Amino acid sequence: MYTEQLFMAHAARCRDAIQAVMPRWYRGLQTLEQEFAYGYAMYTNARQGALGMMILGDESIRGEKELLENMGVTSVTPAGAAKVIQGALADQRQTRGAVLNELYWWPFFNDCWVLGGVHGKMEFHLAFDGWPADDQLWDAKNSRPKMLGRELLILSAAGYSRRTAGGMGTVLYNTDHMKAFNLWLPTIYGLAAGGDSGAFISRIKAAF
């Protein structure tokens, strides 16, 4: 589990690799150090998730009002969709729920969310009927994993396995606690996805 001091030290160590995943369109905070501090807040909220589970899916799940109302969102700055969450414990369910829905989203924050879930011993549920299609894992246009593929790559390095749980769909749960314990930012930014879609998809399928 990260302390703020260790998280910031590891983020600084991975500075170039983290900056490399920042999209051109992203306009967030003023300095990368501020982004690191925000990332630690995202990590903490995910690690302290209220439901003991996280939901992986494509961007569309952030707009599913019923899902957000029932499962809550993980955020540091609640985005507009989080405002549908009202009533008792609304503040907690707008920051420590199961669906990532952050106003200042970019891949680094997504990595912090997954890392927080791993360190919080969370299960990860796939918001798909069955296993996601290959084109949901790999971005052929840019020759790199899509965000779901990146999430699964991280979870494979953290010792997660796959099971089908009836009405709960496909669940990824940890079966190697030492791998989970040893998952840090340098581990994540040391993972090489490669540029070959077939090899990457085969790697993910073999892991799960």
Categorize the per-residue pLDDT at 28 as very low, low, confident or very high, splitting at 50, 70 and 90: confident
Residue 63 has pLDDT above 90, yes or no: no
Lowest mean pLDDT among 12-21, 83-92, 136-145, 196-205: 83-92
Biggest distance spanned by C-alpha atoms of the chain: 48
Mean of the pLDDT values across residues 168-195?
Answer: 93
Whole-number Cα distances in Å, 83 to 80, 95, 110, 116: 6, 11, 20, 23
pLDDT tens digits, residue range 102-115? 989 999 999 999 99
Structure tokens at 58: 């494509």
**Confidence band (pLDDT; 50, 70, 90) for 101?**
very high
**Whether 85 contacts 50, CB under 8 Å:** no
Q: Which of 28-37, 82-91, 150-159 has the highest mean pLDDT?
A: 150-159
State the average pLDDT for the chain.
Answer: 92
Q: Give residue 85's pLDDT.
A: 80
Residue 166: its pLDDT value, please?
Answer: 63
Give percent of the chain with pLDDT exceeding 70: 96
pTM of structure: 0.94
When pLDDT is averaged across residues 51-55 and rounded to a whole number, the result is: 95
Query: Residue 81's closest CA among 107, 111, 103, 108?
Result: 103
Query: What band does 175 get if pLDDT is binned at 50, 70 and 90?
Result: very high
Would you place residue 195 in the very low, low, confident or very high pLDDT band (cuts 50, 70, 90)? Answer: confident
> 3-state SS string over the chain?
CCCHHHHHHHHHHCHHHHHHCCCCCCCCCCCHHHHHHHHHHHHHHHHCCCCCEEEECCHHHHHCHHHHHHHCEECCCECHHHHHCCCCCHHHHCCECCEECECCCCHHHHHHHHHHHHHCCCEEEECCCCCCCHHHCEECCCCEECHHHHHHHHHHHCCEEEEECHHHCEEEEECCHHHHHCCCHHHHHCCCCCCCHHHHHHHHHHHC
